[in-house]
Structure 1
């Protein structure tokens, strides 16, 4: 459904709700708005970035307690006294403090992976929760009362129907900011975190920075929610900021759709309303009181994860008639966008890449042993060998994914041992992968645009405020040009995961070309291609060679290789056993022995 229509519908509902609903339901909507703000951060962090956090409630507490302390403490330090004069100033302090804490906690925990990351968030979430309860200046477990109400343009927002509009306006602003961010260069980098980090790093994306960005944003959203909560209740204690509430926030995200911006609002609404109804109904049905709603929620979550693992929002969007669904259109790409600046390719025959006596050991296993090769501008070099010969290991060392145990790799005359793949990509090397690495739910166009990440400069703030449109048009226009160049111009807006394997490999080449490299590393690009597709690929690679690009090709299809490349290097058991012109290598006894098991 068109986000603009959703926004207009939400604005209409928000505008009339306090006028039509009883105060009880207005209060419930206030809580839904505050909860949705926290869940929106979880959508970014967990649904988009793939990082599960149980500690968001602690960030809510930071925002709430910062404002509570500053507005109720009589003798603030002189350097901080200014902040206690208005709740709006405490919001500023709370956001800065929460962002600072998030930076520290992110640096400590975001390098963890697997189950260690959520365990880490539980650890610091509990730590902050107990900190709130043990500090006497924060009222201990008793809490802090007497918070002032928020004033806006002389109007005191001391009632639910008054603060209602502030809560929902802030939520709508957060939704717009999130959507703007996701539909940008920075957003593509963030979406690549879930299942595509190796690919993203090879395209120049600083994945740790992207993780930190969404971690801080989600913490700031939570802090704003905490500030609203504190001045709505005008009282805070540690209870709403514990691990149980952190789990509730995750439940909200799961119910609504952890990967959907609008799912945050849906999940917060369903869980909040359902909890209230169950708390009212179940005691009457069962004849006694208790936390029966927790049992019901547990059962519902299990059923939901089985029947609709993506949450309810994607399920609802599938029920919408096709004519009401949004589909990206070609005119969204500005045909008048300025072409991105191109790299000056080296002179024909100039040495581009050189490997000198490269050895790679994994414990007692020697994957590459004293490997040497070189490739020059305007040349296609094939690296071939039987399965297990060490080609992929060598490929990874040349591209910065791995580091040689000994020996040197020089690119454009500079030693790149120890440089990461992101730094190597910035120098002008781009690659594809043996096992296709695409973001299946993203469009073909957006997948290729990731390759141009290093060619853009606009940051997170520009993306969030929608000030990056000119650069975005240039990046998408470049992605479209490269897709048309490789013959996928008719698939711009298809989901990348829906393409055939051969088309996905061609898409990877388009993505690599979008980085404007002077050296292209292709890992089995012809695998899965039909004859006509291989012929088209050969024509494309020949054209790139004539333009002065250097191409290193790892391939098993000998017919494809021998009719295309200029030179061949053959590997077996991690060593080079032959090199030279294709026709000479095909006659080499060592090569025949490796491939055919011997000659008579």
Structure 2
């Protein structure tokens, strides 16, 4: 199915609903409220479901949008349409100020932080005199187009749902882009994303601001729909409800935000309308039943209702064909450069009193495969982390082509030409193989968020996807290109990581246990690929426990034990080295 067909169907259905003969005004109001909530939930889908940042404070951003337009329209008589950019600007500016503090938090501190400023802003709205304190601002003018005054719910309905449709398209465009892949990579942690050039703090702030702007848009519409603004709809309870909506619909799915809004709001209205009649109006049983039903719903569809329904309908969105003619400019090589490509000189890393890497020195020359071996806990992966900037050195020096890179951030290291895989696979399981590999080419693209939302990034995107396709086929996984990475075997996932690293077009490729989980023939193909890369001008530094694989492949071997280098030499020399045999090999080969 083409990507645009569901959008057209959705637009047609939502346009036809209010035109149904005999449609009660109550249901039009309900649909308006669903649209307003869907805008906020859509931002939460991107913030929480995609970016992995839990926020309970989105209702406050609705308040910024609503109060801005209400104040300007009533006090200064500004046209409601002219207040729209100002409402979005105020919500976005507030998001910048709050986001600079909030997105740095992690774990349970992040949602607690959003609750804290959500409550603070709610009380701020209710205490400011110029905002009407608890009474708020009344007699907000309606939206109008020419002589048409949108006093009734049916006329503003098309504006609300038009905004929902436009926001959904912009959000999907953003997710289907270089920037969107960077945001989606955040949910699996920052280490892998940063290793391929993603500025994680900037990406988190971007998605935080975007979600706030969508909430501000909802608040702007709310003010001119209700024509009265007070603090009640922008409190912490509303913030919790918005998060419920996103989770019920399917956090991570744009249309899940719309579906979740419909489910939660309709369920609340039905329970509030019928339960008092059944139980004589005693107590607020609808709140109890509402909570129970939501828990049951999440038990039935823990990932949300939208992905559950999608799994029952065998319709797939057809991916656009990758333009094989598009090509990225390869990295400039320096064939005349002298000296080692990588030089590690007395590198040291201490964690408190534990010395993980103890004054280790070695070099990697151009067009060379060097293996780093040793028992578990010898410091091999820690050495990789020092080279790639994930960890800072306690002492020593690391150089790439004579330029110091010790303590450089991972984004700078990959920009200089070092790419890596990980001991424990770090792919995004619910992204396709193509999307995961394309993250490796992040720094080779230029399109930003706004360009992506307006779909002006297609030429840049075609080059990134063509490069990712080429590397996937290069490593022998062309048949799995559209499969979700999480559905592959561990061995295949490691090969996907290699393809992702190759997308960065590195001069030096660091592979952490690349042969783990591979069958014999797969190891042979991997060895052939690494030799091909070496012959093409790339250097390889690998950590591996399969000694047969290492001895047949490596030009030189460096042996670590308890963080200390105990030997270095050719495979033949290492096989017979008494210290290596004692510490690691265990017997003469």
Q: TM-score, normalised on structure 1?
A: 0.95
Distance apart, 1:327 and its partner CA:
4.3
Matching residue of 1:56: 58
Q: Which runs of structure 2 are paired with 1:197-276 in the superposition (5 Å)?
A: 197-276=190-269
Q: Deviations over 1:307-332 (max 9, x none)?
A: 21111111111111x3x33343xx61
Distance apart, 1:2 and its partner CA:
5.6
Matching residue of 2:302: 309
Matching of residue 37 in structure 1 with residue 30 in structure 2: no
Q: Runs of 4+ in structure 1 displaced over 4 angstroms?
A: 596-599
Matching residue of 2:4: 4
Q: Deviations over 1:516-535 (max 9, x none)?
A: 10010000101111111111
Matching of residue 581 in structure 1 with residue 574 in structure 2: no
Q: Which runs of structure 2 are paired with 1:167-186 in the superposition (5 Å)?
A: 167-186=160-179
Q: Deviations over 1:462-503 (max 9, x none)?
A: 100001111111111100101111111111111111111111
Corresponding residue SS for 1:258:
coil
Matching residue of 2:466: 477
Q: Which runs of structure 2 are paired with 1:289-328 in the superposition (5 Å)?
A: 289-320=282-313, 322=314, 324-328=315-319
Is the deviation greater in 244-253 or in 283-292?
A: 283-292
Corresponding residue SS for 2:447:
coil
Distance apart, 1:234 and its partner CA:
0.7
> How far apart are the structure 2 equivalents of 1:242 and 1:3?
37
Q: Which runs of structure 2 are paired with 1:309-388 in the superposition (5 Å)?
A: 309-320=302-313, 322=314, 324-328=315-319, 332-337=321-326, 339-347=327-335, 350-388=339-377
Matching residue of 2:440: 451
Q: Which runs of structure 2 are paired with 1:143-154 in the superposition (5 Å)?
A: 143-154=136-147
Corresponding residue SS for 1:269:
helix
> How far apart are the structure 2 equivalents of 1:193 and 1:303?
29
> How far apart are the structure 2 equivalents of 1:195 and 1:529?
24
Matching of residue 539 in structure 1 with residue 528 in structure 2: yes
Q: Deviations over 1:535-589 (max 9, x none)?
A: 1111111011111111101111111111111111100010000001111111111
> How far apart are the structure 1 equivalents of 2:140 and 2:477?
60
Contact kept? 1:259, 1:310, Cα under 8 Å: no
Cα 1:187/1:120, change in 2 over 3 Å: same
Matching residue of 2:72: 70
Unaligned regions of 5+ residues in structure 1, if any? 75-83
Q: Which runs of structure 2 are paired with 1:113-132 in the superposition (5 Å)?
A: 113-132=106-125
Contact kept? 1:35, 1:225, Cα under 8 Å: yes
When the two chains are superposed, the root-mean-square deviation of aligned CA atoms in Å is 1.4
Matching residue of 2:17: 17
Unaligned regions of 5+ residues in structure 2, if any? none
**For 2:410, which of 421, 434, 454 is the aligned residue?**
421
Contact kept? 2:70, 2:140, Cα under 8 Å: yes
> How far apart are the structure 2 equivalents of 1:294 and 1:191?
34
Contact kept? 1:45, 1:52, Cα under 8 Å: yes
Distance apart, 1:181 and its partner CA:
0.5
Distance apart, 1:23 and its partner CA:
1.4
**For 1:278, which of 235, 257, 271 is the aligned residue?**
271
Q: TM-score, normalised on structure 2?
A: 0.97
Q: Deviations over 1:325-371 (max 9, x none)?
A: 3343xx6111232x100012332874211111111110010111111
